[in-house]
């Protein structure tokens, strides 16, 4: 049990967070609209707004919507101070961008660059990139930005903020990018494992908006899995939860990057598919080319070798997590409808039918950029006030 004096200020903090989230979600609004929509009384909203303006989260605009009675002054996110930065680190490309606190990413305010070869190079490139984006900012970054969110690949230990191992980007191994960046630029930096970032982003601003029980399975070079259950991101004890790719499905199968044999990741990814088709064609092809290869269009049997294992992954996720929605993300499934259909058909066979019926399966674009941004925004919101779920912890279900 956590010790914490339950002070009265808690209530006002909770309400402040509510007001801010209302504006984040619904755009500029007057106090009266917020009061009605957020289930608070008008004076309460007013007080929260005063505090939020003082802390430069909100600002009052002149604009006032036309209507019947007295027009209300709209409140919007502070243009000067309600901004964050997002950084996505990937094996080949990195991205940096700025966003408002509502997650709107300024596309003109973003850059991409090839991932440097060394850790120091990467750190410096990120620092330079941040400077480039915020070039017009005089003085300290912290005058306009409240923090930086990072999406990092590989196994990331969130308890200590360290990338433990990144199979596709070894320069991160053992490094603490968020901490190092924070030391350099003096802004708080929050890193999330990329699959977790995907989840947080989709939940806050994407297809999973408002959903409390969903999973995202990301099929690309590896298998990434992010889970939100009961409204909480499943992180595990150290943030390493979701490593579906390394469960054994072929007891004496092919060797995997993790050192083991027969991991799901060796047979149910883009890479595995490309390798298979390459062998079929007798020459090395990439994923894109593999998908359009005649062998693929010709025979179900060839794609079955990858797709049926993918179905095992899908059904494992549904069986184990019982999500209300499962988002599938990845070239393989989103390019060829035949493949998606087969995944669905096979997964249906392999999944417990009540859980399968209970789960909507959707294709998803996903977006690590939104994820990085959402990560820091979520953190800022939690800093403001704890998320408060007044319905208990969902352990039990009433039947009376």
Partner DNA sequence: ACACCTTTCTAAACACCGCTTACAAAGCGT
Partner DNA sequence: ACGCTTTGTAAGCGGTGTTTAGAAAGGTGT
Residues 254-293 that bind DNA (CB under 7 A): none
Query: Based on CB atoms, which residue is closest to a copy of itself, 9 or 79?
Result: 9
Alpha-carbon gap, residue 265 to 224, rounded angstroms: 10
Q: Which is nearer to DNA, 264 or 385 (CB)?
A: 385
386 binds DNA (CB under 7 A): no
Site for DNA contains 220 (CB under 7 A): no
> How many angstroms separate the CA atoms of 368 and 359, rounded?
24
For residues 149, 203, 361, 293, the Cα torsion angle rounded to the nearest 10 degrees is -30
CA angle 285, 245, 339 (to 5 degrees): 50
CB 249 within 8 A of CB 294: no
Between strands 145-152 and 189-193, the pairing is parallel
The nearer residue to DNA, 8 or 398, going by C-beta atoms, is 8
CA 357 – CA 69 distance, rounded (Å): 50
Span of 44-52, 99-107, 203-211, 287-295 interacting with DNA by CB under 7 A = 44-52
Closest approach of a copy of itself to the CB of residue 332, in Å: 19
Beta carbon of residue 147, minimum distance to DNA (angstroms, whole number): 24
| CB-based contact 115:152 (threshold 8 Å) | no
In the complex with a copy of itself, the residue whose CB is nearer, 18 or 342, is: 18
CA distance 137 to 117: 29
Q: How far is the CB of 282 from a copy of itself (least distance, A)?
A: 26
Q: DSSP letter for 399, please.
A: -
Stretch that binds DNA, among 41-49, 213-221, 249-257, 364-372 (CB under 7 A): 41-49
Question: Which of DNA, a copy of itself, none is residue 72 near (CB under 5 to 8 Å by kind)?
Answer: DNA
Pick the closer one to DNA by CB: 6 or 399: 6
Phi-psi region of 237 (alpha: psi -120 to 50; beta: other; left: phi over 0): alpha
Nearest distance, CB of residue 22 and a copy of itself, angstroms: 8
Under rule CB under 7 A, residue 73 binds DNA: yes
d(CA 263, CA 96): 33
Count CB atoms within 10 A of the CB of residue 289: 15
Footprint (CB under 7 A) of DNA, residues 155-184: none
Q: Is 33 in the site for DNA (CB under 7 A)?
A: yes
* Nearest-approach distance from CB 387 to DNA, in angstroms: 16
Q: Which does 258 bind (CB under 5 to 8 A by kind): DNA, a copy of itself, none?
A: a copy of itself
Helices 270-281 and 300-321: crossing angle, nearest 10°?
160
Q: Of these partners, DNA, a copy of itself, none, which one is at the site of residue 398 (CB under 5 to 8 Å by kind)? A: a copy of itself
Q: Is 20 in the site for DNA (CB under 7 A)?
A: no
Q: Which does 70 bind (CB under 5 to 8 A by kind): DNA, a copy of itself, none?
A: DNA
Pairing between β-strand 58-64 and β-strand 73-77 as defined by DSSP bridges? antiparallel
Binding site for DNA (CB under 7 A): 5-9, 11-12, 14-15, 30-33, 40-44, 46-49, 64, 66-73
């Amino acid at each position: 049990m956590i010790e914490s004096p339950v002070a009265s200020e808690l209530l006002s903090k909770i309400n402040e967070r509510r007001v801010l989230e209302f504006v984040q979600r619904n755009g500029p609004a007057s106090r009266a609209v917020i009061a009605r929509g957020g289930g608070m009384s008008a004076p309460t909203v007013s007080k929260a707004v005063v505090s939020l303006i003082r802390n430069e989260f909100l600002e009052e605009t002149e604009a006032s919507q036309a209507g019947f009675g007295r027009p209300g002054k709209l409140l919007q996110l502070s243009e000067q101070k309600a901004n964050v930065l997002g950084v996505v680190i990937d094996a080949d490309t990195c991205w940096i961008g700025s966003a408002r606190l509502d997650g709107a990413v300024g596309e003109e305010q973003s850059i991409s660059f090839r991932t440097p070869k060394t850790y120091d190079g990467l750190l410096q490139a990120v620092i330079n990139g941040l400077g480039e984006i915020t070039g017009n900012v005089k003085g300290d970054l912290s005058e306009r930005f409240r923090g930086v969110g990072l999406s990092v690949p590989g196994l990331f230990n969130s308890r200590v903020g360290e990338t433990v191992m990144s199979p596709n980007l070894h320069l991160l191994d053992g490094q603490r990018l968020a901490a190092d960046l924070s030391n350099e630029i003096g802004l708080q930096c929050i890193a999330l494992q990329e699959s977790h970032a995907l989840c947080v982003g989709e939940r806050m601003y994407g297809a999973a908006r408002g959903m409390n029980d969903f999973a995202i399975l990301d099929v690309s070079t590896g298998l990434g899995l992010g889970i939100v259950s009961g409204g909480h991101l499943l992180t595990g004890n150290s943030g390493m939860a979701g490593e579906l790719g390394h469960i054994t499905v072929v007891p004496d199968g092919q060797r995997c990057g993790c050192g083991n044999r027969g991991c799901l990741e060796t047979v149910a990814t883009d890479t595995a598919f490309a390798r298979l088709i390459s062998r079929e064609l007798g020459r090395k092809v990439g994923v894109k080319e593999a998908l359009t290869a005649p062998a693929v269009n010709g025979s179900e049997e060839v794609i079955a070798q990858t797709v049926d294992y993918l179905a095992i992954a899908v059904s494992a996720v549904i069986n184990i997590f019982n999500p209300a929605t499962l988002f599938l993300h990845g070239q393989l499934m989103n390019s060829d409808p035949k493949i998606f259909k087969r995944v669905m058909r096979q997964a249906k066979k392999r999944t417990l039918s009540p859980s399968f019926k209970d789960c909507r399966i959707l294709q998803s674009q996903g977006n690590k950029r939104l994820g990085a941004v959402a990560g820091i925004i979520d953190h800022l919101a939690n800093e403001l006030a704890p998320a408060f779920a007044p319905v208990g912890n969902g352990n039990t279900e009433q039947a009376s």
